[in-house]
Amino acid sequence: MSNNSISLHRVLTAKPEKVFRAFIDANAFLSWLAPYGMFAEIEEMEVKVGGKYKMSFTNFSTGKKQSFGGEYLDIEPDKFIKYIDRFDDPNLPGDMITSISFTPVSVGTELKITQENIPAAIPLDACYLGWQESLEKLKMLVEPEIPDEL
């Protein structure tokens, strides 16, 4: 972790197409993105370069909601996503930039995430922990192979 950015690395036992789909399908995204103890809501999600999104995380214990939105800057299907996050809260100024690469490896997908320009009011260790929790939930979504018959 440096100044106001974090980097994460995971290897998932699922193909890049499946992992990528978990980032662009609104229902899938809702199921894993919010850290433990929170839930997400999506108002808008137009996954294309220049497309906008608007969503929020709600703390289940307190009911406090944090809304944010942004724009997709770069998308290479099954390979890469880059987007801007902007908080609605004026105490969390600036544009965070999140970049995610999906690289095929022998056991599935190597996932690399970088989030830059995190507002000073957000402790980097808390941001890092939130992403770790979200990625654990992502793993639970994409790694199981469930037959259609069930």
Judge whether residue 2 has pLDDT over 60: no
Which tens digit of pLDDT belongs to each residue from 107-128?
999 999 999 999 999 999 999 9
Residue 129 within a domain: yes
Name the domain count of the chain: 1
| CB contact at 8 A, 138 and 35 | no
**pLDDT computed for residue 148 by the predictor:** 84
User: Which is nearest to 83 in space by CA: 67, 69, 99?
Assistant: 99
Tokens 């100024």, located at residue: 93
Which tens digit of pLDDT belongs to each residue from 6-55?
999 999 999 999 999 999 999 999 999 999 999 999 999 999 999 999 99
Residue 52 within a domain: yes
What is the CATH number for 22?
3.30.530.20
Judge whether residue 1 has pLDDT over 90: no
| CB contact at 8 A, 4 and 116 | yes
- CB contact set of 26 (below 8 Å; sequence gap of 6+): 42, 45
Provide the domain limits for residue 138.
6-142
Residue 13 within a domain: yes
Which pTM was predicted? 0.92
Question: Which tokens sit at 96?
Answer: 């965070």
CA distance linking residue 13 with residue 15, whole number of Å: 7
- CB contact set of 129 (below 8 Å; sequence gap of 6+): 35
Cα angle 98-27-86, degrees, rounded to a multiple of 5: 30
Judge whether residue 150 has pLDDT over 80: no
Tokens 């941001």, located at residue: 127
- CB contact set of 81 (below 8 Å; sequence gap of 6+): 20, 23, 24, 72, 74, 75, 98, 99, 100
Kindly write down the DSSP assignment for every residue of 93-134, as one continuous string. -S-EEEEEEEEEETTEEEEEEEEE---TTS-HHHHHHHHHHH
